[in-house]
Structure 1
Amino acid sequence: MSDVRRAPSRASRISTTIAGRGQMAVILLTSLLTTCLCMFWSYSAKIVCGGPPFLAEGRSSHWPVGDPDAVIPCYSDLMYLWVGRDINNHVFPFIHGGITPDGKLFGGVVEYPVLSGMFMWLGAIGAHTDTEFFQHSVWLLVPFGLAVTVMLALMTRWSVLWWAATPPLVLYAFHNWELPVVATAVGAVAVMAWGSTISPRTGERRLSVRTAAILAAILLGIGFCLKLYPGFFVLPLAIYVLTYGTAPGHDDEAPIRRTLDWAGAVWVAAAATLTVIAIQLPFMVLGFDGWKAALSFQGKRKSDVDTNSIWYWGLRHFTGGQTDTYNSLVGLLSPILIGAAFATAVYLGWREYRRDGLYPWIGVSASMLAGFMLFHKVHSPQYTLWILPFFVLLKIRWPVILGYLVADFILDTTIFRLFGIYTSGSPMKWWVITGVNVGVWVHAVLLAYLLVAFVRAPLREPLASFGRRPSSPEPELALARS
């Protein structure tokens, strides 16, 4: 009789597991197909800036206009940087170059961290025109876009469509080299999530909090060498380890901790630091002047129209234009406010920890990114790809996400037309200047809101349930039910 009673229960659990895996397969297939469609659309919108006939140095005669009536501007940094940084001459980056007194880079130096420079060099191999360079770069970027989709789908299920099926992927997938750095940031979260899941063999976490965080910190260090911002996330990750990364209900067998894990936090910081040093050191040794030139370029960069920040569209009106006073104020206020935003995010996260017993390192990371994007003197439109995964991972109100994406679309479809008007000296169109201001200021207001909201936002499922011990004796069913 007891065997008869147990049989239906086991069959039901197996059925639940199969159904859960089937649903996950549908989510992955749908999100990957949608991602491929968006990236193909992005390629189609950008490639019209290239093609024959070609001018000197392999520059397409269509550059940079393409179809002036197209809704999505054809402009892409992937084509723009073909000329002017010795990419077209296939010079290995950073080793032989430098910066002139008037701030111009030469000899293979690009104004990006070293790994992004390496991607550009790799994309240029075998290319003789800006169009071939663009196409080669696309093939390098596509795997990272697909990897982000897979990781987000596994952690958030259908919420992945905020990433895979919204305009930013069309607008920016091949605008700049953003997809690799986004993959490192999402990968760090994925490593922490997978490490917290319960192994069916042992019934324990797959990885300790320390081990998972060290692996995640290595990814964040790699991301820092691509576009800097993932490096910010090492601080909240270290605090998460400092507080043992456990909360009531996530590990009922763990003893209550009354001390802090300082050694673990130091290991996390050291892992990220050593990763950055290992990547940067060869460039520093072989070509220190070229390596330093990229930093000098960013330090000398002014907050003007192509940086697209609140400083240019706000403060400039109170200083009589881009005066010395304006540049001095931006140079002073921007880093101070970024530092204040970081401190605020960390403090808000600590308050959540004191209340709930768990430091929300993902929310704090997102908050720090929002503060950086708000106050930095450069706010390129493609930075939307940086923040978009956090809309997927965290339960942010859908009107906020929708408002951000609408403003972003308006900004992208007007700012590049504005550049063309300024360059040609044509009369300004009211809808262009209005669209740019709407995009900039809606983003600014929402980023200020998100600086607080991200920290308080709960994680989406099943990410929020990773690490919870199943009540059944078969731990492998936990993920299927979550």
Structure 2
Amino acid sequence: MADERAPHVHPTLDDPVVTGLSEVVGGPMGTRARPHRWWTPLRVLLLLTACTFALGLVQKAPCSVAEGKDQNWVYSHMCYTDLKPLYVPRGMVEHAWPYSDDAQTRARYEVMEYPVGISYWAWGTAWVTHWLTGSPDVEERGRQPVADLAAAPDVDDEQNVFLLVNALGFAALALVAVALLSRAHPVRPWDAAAFALSPTLLLTGLINWDMIAVALVAGALWSWSRDRPGLTGVLIGLGTAAKLYPLFLLGGLLVICLRQRRYAAFALATVTAVAAWLLANAPGYLTGPEAWKHFWEFNSERAADLGSVWLVIDQAGDVGFSAHTINLWSWILFGAWCLGVFVIGMTAGRGVRPEAAVPRLAQLGYLVVVGFLLVNKVYSPQYVLWLLPLAVLARPRWRDQIVWQASEVVYFCTVWWYLGGYLQPSGGGDAGFYWLGIAIRVLGELYLAAVIVRDMYRPHHDPVVAQERVAASR
């Protein structure tokens, strides 16, 4: 592990935006300045992440403490989270195993519509919630109608505890993620500040369980930077067991390993990823294969949904896309996008010095994942977290991070206003301002993708490569 007191790139000397802002506190880092003994970059980043997550909890608080408010009030305050509404309907109120094949359990509760990693986490945090609230009698609850449980005051209190337990877990995952990101480039720990101070982390970190996969992706980026393909594969496999998108990092590894002729490293990463995914899925599949299949069936049958380009086309053109049509064309378009990323990855950097020739995993990972999100049939507000660890390492420049994350914040606002009915024209009709919010988000993601591709073809624009060249010349 690198010594944090070793020389590193200071952001006031590296990033024009930070340089300009530093004038408020005396200007950029001077040649005679010395780092603080205790306040290392990692400790500062951890503190910033903790503050961001605490503010995120405050932002979600109105939906927990307010009583007697309707769903539109929740949307207008933009404090919605999936955690509380799923506590009773998915059986966590009785601490039911998410993959139980018990007939009574399945008759009372719906199956979790998420991969196993999220289901296990939710089940575990439900156990902690029950323990903290005095271990309620689940057998007695099993004799009550589910509707009565949902209305019970003690269950309402449990839901708030459940949210807090998960919030603490997500905060821990965010701290782990920022620590790993700060060590991906030992001389550039401050690149992770765009993660620690991210407004999208603040606004969306508590909506769903996506932080599980985010931390595992950060771990994969770190382990690959340390030349540990086996561990990288394990983390990708575990991440895929929580959300599908970490699987796409294998595409980035394929390009890198082909360029560097590291075929054994790619094979090792792939085999360990598959093994980790299989082991993670085994308990769920073996205890309830039908319940395990629900995630795949749910996503296959889903039609055009929130935030997707398909929804805009469907509403604007009154097309009426079927789920099958969207599934087919989404995968065709995504396949074409991946082929384009493969070509870019194999051709970018040719003819330049070897250390700048091969694109980085974060760059390729961002391009592949953003392509998936652009053609996917749903874009929930928290999906921005999928891109966050990749983006902050792929393009560590505050100007570009601000442009991209601002577009995501615009979408975050418009999706809640749309759900609350606040964007409906007074004379009726479709919510065109919601389509505008989706378009702004898409343009922001494409902007960052374009800058990353520019960096790959012209590495002298890439701050990481530029720093490596400076270090090599010394």
Cα distance between partner residues in 1 of 2:316 and 2:125:
41
Three-state SS of the structure 2 residue aligned to 1:88 is: helix
Q: Which residue of 2 aligns with 1:190?
A: 222
Q: Which residue of 1 aligns with 2:231?
A: 215
1:402 deviates by 2.3
Cα distance between partner residues in 2 of 1:317 and 1:220:
38
**1:238 counterpart letter in structure 2:** L
Change (3 A) 1:317 1:434: closer
**1:311 counterpart letter in structure 2:** W
1:179 equivalent to 2:211? Answer yes
Aligned match of 2:57 in 31, 38, 43? 43
Q: Which residue of 2 aligns with 1:302?
A: 303
Change (3 A) 1:219 1:402: same
Three-state SS of the structure 1 residue aligned to 2:93 is: coil
1:361 deviates by 2.9
Cα distance between partner residues in 1 of 2:6 and 2:110:
58
1:437 equivalent to 2:435? Answer yes
Q: Percent identity?
A: 24
Cα distance between partner residues in 2 of 1:136 and 1:227:
21
1:157 equivalent to 2:189? Answer yes
1:316 equivalent to 2:330? Answer no
Q: TM-score normalised to the size of structure 2?
A: 0.75
1:4-403 matches, cutoff 5 A: 22=36, 25-51=39-65, 61-62=68-69, 64=71, 70=77, 73-96=78-101, 107=109, 109-125=111-127, 126-127=129-130, 128=155, 129-154=158-183, 155=185, 156-193=188-225, 195=226, 209=227, 212-244=228-260, 260-304=261-305, 307-318=306-317, 320-321=318-319, 323=320, 325=321, 327-352=323-348, 354-356=350-352, 357-395=357-395, 398-403=398-403
1:77 deviates by 1.1
Cα distance between partner residues in 1 of 2:212 and 2:101:
25
Change (3 A) 1:105 1:117: farther
* Deviations 1:139-170, CA, capped at 9 Å, x for gaps: 22111111122223333333323222231121
* Deviations 1:401-435, CA, capped at 9 Å, x for gaps: 3232222222222312321228xx987699x9455
Change (3 A) 1:278 1:467: farther
* Deviations 1:184-243, CA, capped at 9 Å, x for gaps: 1111111122x2xxxxxxxxxxxxx4xx12211111111101111111101221332344
- Number of residues of Structure 1 aligned to a counterpart in Structure 2: 406
**2:372 counterpart letter in structure 1:** F
Change (3 A) 1:346 1:118: same
CA contact (8 A) 1:66 1:74 kept: no
Cα distance between partner residues in 2 of 1:349 and 1:181:
24
**1:285 counterpart letter in structure 2:** L
Cα distance between partner residues in 1 of 2:441 and 2:448:
10
Change (3 A) 1:15 1:312: closer
Task: State the Cα RMSD in Å.
Answer: 3.5
1:67 deviates by 6.5
**2:206 counterpart letter in structure 1:** F
Structure 1: gaps spanning 5 or more residues = 1-13, 54-60, 99-103, 196-208, 245-259, 473-482
More deviation, 396-405/180-189: 396-405
Cα distance between partner residues in 1 of 2:75 and 2:295:
33
CA contact (8 A) 1:88 1:124 kept: yes
* Deviations 1:43-76, CA, capped at 9 Å, x for gaps: 11212212486xxxxxxx5464566764xx1101
Cα distance between partner residues in 2 of 1:381 and 1:396:
23
1:396 deviates by 6.2
CA contact (8 A) 2:233 2:268 kept: no
**2:120 counterpart letter in structure 1:** M
Three-state SS of the structure 2 residue aligned to 1:385 is: helix
**1:118 counterpart letter in structure 2:** Y
1:41 deviates by 1.3
Cα distance between partner residues in 2 of 1:468 and 1:216:
28
More deviation, 282-291/396-405: 396-405
